Amino acid sequence: MGWLTSLFSAKEKLPPLENYSALMVDFHSHLIPAIDDGVKTLDEAIEVVKSLIALGFTKIITTPHVMTDGYNNTNEILLAGRDEVRRALEKAGIEIPFEVSAEYYIDETLLPKVKSKSLLTLKDNYVLVELSYMAAPMSLTTYIFELKAAGYKVILAHPERYPFYYRKSVEAYEEVRELGIYFQMNLGSLAGVYGKGAQQAAEMLIDANMIDFVATDIHNMKLIPNFKNALELPYVRKILEYEYLLNRQLI
């Protein structure tokens, strides 16, 4: 019976996907030089953008960190950085929409920005937020309430990477979802670049139909080979074919 098993397995195995064109928009990256832990130079930014285009993305919204104790970036810094990258792309003859938003760290300095409605948003008032990897803020519910009350739609960056969630069951994620937020998964999580726990959590969330957006969270060229290899993974195919994925809303 061994040859029969091999025959059926061969039939079931699908060829790898060609690219990530189904996502269209990569809206989580760190591609403005020297303002956070992302690319260091314009040349590096251009190299990453060219690689993302080759992977099938047709729009980029870069999202530098905004956090008081790390990268206290202002809107003026982010917009000036966007324009600098745009000029470099134009000079290099690279045509792709290049926008900027931010990855906002949830801490006490976020609320004044929320109340003044000064956050740099993604299309349709989406805002990308991240948590500490040590522990979720005690007042997470308050932060989410304030964001939503100000008219923002909240996307939680890479929920699969937070140990205080993935060490629990899917119910822990359901409690967070009940706050009325969206989940954005990193492609690298499925490739195992953040460890086994994050990979298993990403797969669990896909199985539970709890992923709304997918992005690269790319900081430099190191992840590009992982993204190429990940096109062979069954869970990458599953999420790219998920009919309720919302990336296209950001076109």
Determine, yes or no, domain membership for 78. yes
Residue 8 lies in a domain: no
Is 68 among the domain residues? yes
Tens-digit pLDDT profile for residues 2-38: 545 444 444 467 788 999 999 999 999 999 999 999 9
* Number of folded domains that form the chain: 1
Q: Is residue 12 part of a domain?
A: no
**Domain containing residue 33: CATH number:** 3.20.20.140
**Structural domain contains residue 5:** no
- Flag whether 13 is in a domain: no
8 Å CB contact between 214 and 23: yes
pLDDT exceeds cutoff 80 at 146: yes
* % pLDDT > 90, the chain: 88
Domain residues for 45?
18-250
Contact status, residue 44 vs residue 85, Cβ threshold 8 Å:
no
- Asked whether residue 157 is domain-assigned, the answer is yes
The percentage of residues in the chain with a pLDDT greater than 70, rounded to a whole number, is 95
Residue 2 lies in a domain: no
* Cα–Cα nearest to 189, from 206, 173, 177, 172: 206
